[in-house]
Amino acid sequence: MLFPSRLFPSPLAVGAHVVDLALNGKLLPDLGKTLSRAAVAFVVAMALGTAAGIALGRSRVADRLFSAWVVVGLNIPAIVIAIVLYIWLGLTEFALILAVVLNKLPLVIATIREGVRSFDPAYDDLGRAFRMPFARRLRLIFLPQLMPFALAAARTGLSLIWKIVLVFEVLGSDGGVGFRISVFFQFFDIKGIVAYTTAFILVVFAFEYLVLRPLERHILKWRQVRT
C-alpha cells in the first residue's frame, strides 16, 4: 500500500477517533485546559498591550524609552522566553501563561501604537470646538479610531497565541492539547495527533465565525461600502 493507514489515516477514521476521544478519552478536558490558558493570556496581553500601545503612541518620551524593547520583544524567539521562565518559575501554569503573554504583548503594543499615531487631529479640534468632555471624546472619537487596530491586534494575536500555547504545553505542562500531542508523538500515533489537531481547528473556526467576525461586522459596520 502506497499510503499506510497508520501514517496517513483517512478522514473518516480521524472523524471517528475525534468522537471516541471526546467520549472516552481526554479530548474535552485537554481542549478546555488549552482554551482557558489561551483565553487568560489573550485577555491579559490585550489589556496590557493596549494600555502600553496608547502610552507609546501618545508620548514621544515613552516611545523613545521603550520602543527598542518592543523591537526586542517582537524578534526574540518565543521558545527562549518559555525556557527561561520555566527555569526561573518552574513548570507552572503561571510560567506558561506569562510566557504566552510576553510573546504576544509586543505585537499588540506595536499595532495599537500605530493606531494611536494614525488618529486624525481634525477630530481633536472637533472635540475642543464643541467642548466635549474627555470621557465622551474617549468613547466617541478615540475608541472608534482605535477599534480597527484593536481588532487586527486581537486577530493576529490570537493566531499567535494558539500556536505558542501548544508549543509551550509540549515543552512543559501537565495537560492540554499540546501536552497530549507530545504524548501521541512518543507513540508515533498520527491518528491521535490529527484527531486533536482537527478538534482544535474546529474550535478555532467556531471562534472565528461565531465570535470574531460577527463582532467585527458589528463594530465596523460604518465602514461597509454602499452597494
Partner 1 sequence: MSSGPRLEIDVEGKKFDFLPTPLLDGFRLEIEPSSVVALVGPSGVGKSTLLRMIGGVDTLFSGRVLVDGVVAAEAPPAGFVFQDPRLLPWLTALDNIRAVRPETTESEAEAMLMRVGLKGFERYYPHELSGGMQRRVALARAFSVNPRLLLLDEPFVSLDRTLVVEMEQVLLTLIETNRPTVLLVTHLPEDAATVADRAVVLSGRPAKIVADYRFASAAGQRPRAEREHIANQIAGAAAERLP
Which residues would be at the binding site for partner 1 (CB under 8 A)?
122-123, 125-126, 128-132, 136, 140-141, 144, 222-223, 225-226
Nearest distance in Å: CB 146, partner 1: 11
If the CB atoms of residues 150 and 181 are measured against partner 1, the closer one turns out to be 150
Q: Which is nearer to partner 1, 61 or 225 (CB)?
A: 225
Write out the DSSP string of 102-123: HHHHHHHHHHHHHHHHT--HHH
Minimal distance, residue 46 CB to partner 1, in Å: 21
| Secondary structure class of 14 (helix, strand, coil) | helix
Find the Cα–Cα–Cα–Cα dihedral 139, 142, 148, 149, rounded to 10°.
-130
If we measure between CA atoms, which residue out of 107, 98, 116, 104 comes closest to residue 58? 116
Task: Please report, for residues 46, 102, 106, 138, the alpha-carbon distance to residue 52 in angstroms, rounded to integers and kept in the order given.
Answer: 10, 13, 9, 16
**Closer residue to partner 1 (CB): 128 or 217:** 128
Tell me how far, at minimum, the Cβ of 169 lies from partner 1, in Å: 40
Smallest separation (angstroms) from partner 1 to the CB of 143: 9
Tell me the closest approach of the beta carbon of residue 119 to partner 1, in angstroms: 13
Contact present, 169 and 178 (Cβ < 8 Å)? yes
| Cβ closest to partner 1, residue 3 vs residue 130 | 130
Question: Which residue, 102 or 150, is less far from partner 1 as judged by CB?
Answer: 150
Up-side HSE of residue 59: CA atoms within 13 Å toward CB?
12
Q: How far is the CB of 129 from partner 1 (least distance, A)?
A: 4
CB 70 within 8 A of CB 109: yes
In degrees and rounded to multiples of 5, residue 145 shows phi and psi of -70, -30
Question: In the complex with partner 1, which residue's Cβ is closer, 88 or 222?
Answer: 222
Picking from 104, 86, 105, the residue whose alpha carbon sits closest to that of residue 173 is 86
